[in-house]
Amino acid sequence: MKVIIFDPVSTGKSHYTFNNTMIKIITEANNISSVRIILSQSHFLKLHSSETSESTKIKNIHGINYSKINKTRFHFLVCSVIAYLHLIRKIIKYNPKSLFILAADNLYSPFFLLIIKFIFNINIYVFLHNNLENVKNSNFKKKLLIKILNNGVKGICLSKFVMRNANQLLNNNSNLLYFPHPSYSHLFKERASESYKCENDFLLLGRHSVFFTESNFHKKIFSVCDDLNSQKSIVFSIRKNCLQKKQSKNIEITEYDFPMNDEEYCKLLFKSKFLIIPPQSASRITASGVHIDAISAGIPVIAPELGTFAENVSVLGKSLLYNEENLKEVFKRALLMTNNDYENLCKELVKTSELLSLNRSTSLIEK
């Protein structure tokens, strides 16, 4: 089977990890004979120099100079037209059986996909990342998404939580598919073993840091730290400018610049003992890439028991899922956890990551 993999939207480093992983999963499927890839220029350059590009099934990798002129809505429209016209030319030339859209916007992409589906006899699969979160309050964009699904385009949800919400939001459409978000353990050359020796006790990563101080979440956590007679400071690593001042003598705050490069991102994960997900993240209708990063790196996660986070949590890891009533108890449990219990928790994370491995994901693509 001949396929085209297409992503005109994503230009950032974090989403490249997903694109690289999905390309690897698709190209390793036995029922796929050849792959053509069209990505934004920044992702094209990184993929072209990666091990993934060495697959004999990959016949061409095309870069679209997308990231240089996407600063306004008009430029975004121009870029979308250029990208999809490029895609249509490749469909005409290669006549693929399937098209995988690794990321799509909620306004322009649906129109182009309707045109492609009308003209060509081709299977179209669209990975839904933040799409549902971003259309839930827009009836027009929601109707566009329903329209493309009703016309045979298949939307892929990366968590069961997203799948449930998508069914409610999009009228139980039969063209919604569940595909578990793959882990990135193949991209990490090391795991966070013996993380109890790490520099940071708690890490808030990326956009999640923005919610750290909302509804006094940070004060509730800091109060638990204050109640402990700790002989050393409890270290929190957060995004720069998220916290105005330190709240306790028992607490040390370290800050990092964001965004950061891949090496800095991995280093920050590996030198942290626990990753914290604030409660506001529970209501977002999206699979959590940060959660997958932590699982892949072997970092236990303290997260809301609601939302997408409970799906990929081990038996021991469930004790770190919190609600409004048990929040302080959960953080106290993490602070008092023995080295032995922590290591057992990390070992379970390895098994969780294996369940979301490349081989398992490839077998799903083959179906």
Please list, in sequence order, all residues whose beta carbon lies within 8 angstroms of the beta carbon of residue 315, skipping any fewer than 6 positions away. Answer: 348
Q: What burial class does residue 195 get, using C-beta atoms within 10 Å of its C-beta: 0-12 exposed, 13-18 middle, 19+ buried?
A: buried
What torsion, rounded to 10 degrees, do the Cα atoms 339, 344, 347, 352 define? -130
pLDDT of residue 193: 47
CB 316 within 8 A of CB 143: no
Dihedral, CA of residue 225, residue 229, residue 232 and residue 233, to nearest 10: 20
Q: Which amino acid makes up residue 20?
A: N
Angstrom distance (rounded) from CA 296 to CA 299: 8
DSSP 44: H
Residue in the structure block whose two tokens are 């072209």: 48
Provide the residue count of the chain: 367
Phi, psi of 59 (to 5 degrees): -90, -35
The reported pLDDT for the residue numbered 190 is 57
Q: What's the confidence (pLDDT) of residue 151?
A: 95
Q: Which two tokens stand for residue 68?
A: 């240089």
Check: CB of residue 264 under 8 Å from CB of residue 271: no
CB 103 within 8 A of CB 9: yes
For the chain, report the end-to-end CA distance as a whole number of angstroms. Answer: 13
Q: Enter the DSSP assignment of 182.
A: P
Cα(43)–Cα(84) distance, rounded to whole angstroms?
17
Whole-angstrom Cα distance, residue 36 to residue 192? 35
Contacts of residue 8, defined as CB under 8 A and 6 or more positions apart, other chains included, come to 38, 39, 40, 64, 66, 79, 80, 83, 84, 87
In this prediction, residue 247 carries a pLDDT of: 62
281 close to 256: Cβ distance less than 8 angstroms: no
| pLDDT value, residue 71 | 65
Range 109-120 burial, b when 16+ CB lie within 10 A, else e: bbebbbebbeee
Q: Which of 265, 320, 271, 255 is nearest to 293 (CA)?
A: 265
Q: Tell me the pTM.
A: 0.91
Each of the 367 residues of the chain gets a pLDDT tens digit; together they read: 999 999 988 877 778 889 999 999 999 999 999 999 999 888 888 898 888 888 999 999 998 865 544 567 888 888 889 999 999 999 999 999 999 999 999 999 999 999 999 999 999 999 999 999 999 999 999 999 999 999 999 999 999 999 999 999 999 989 999 999 999 888 776 554 444 457 899 999 877 788 888 888 999 999 898 888 777 889 999 988 888 765 677 888 999 988 787 778 888 888 899 999 999 989 899 998 889 999 988 899 999 999 999 898 888 999 999 999 999 999 999 999 999 999 999 989 888 888 888 888 888 887 7
Other beta carbons less than 10 A from residue 126's beta carbon:
25
If you search the block for the tokens 């007679």, which residue do you land on? 229
Q: Give dist(CA 317, CA 28) in Å, integer.
A: 31
DSSP letter string over 217-243? HHHHHHHHHHHS--SSPEEEEEETTS-
Token digits for 329?
């108890």
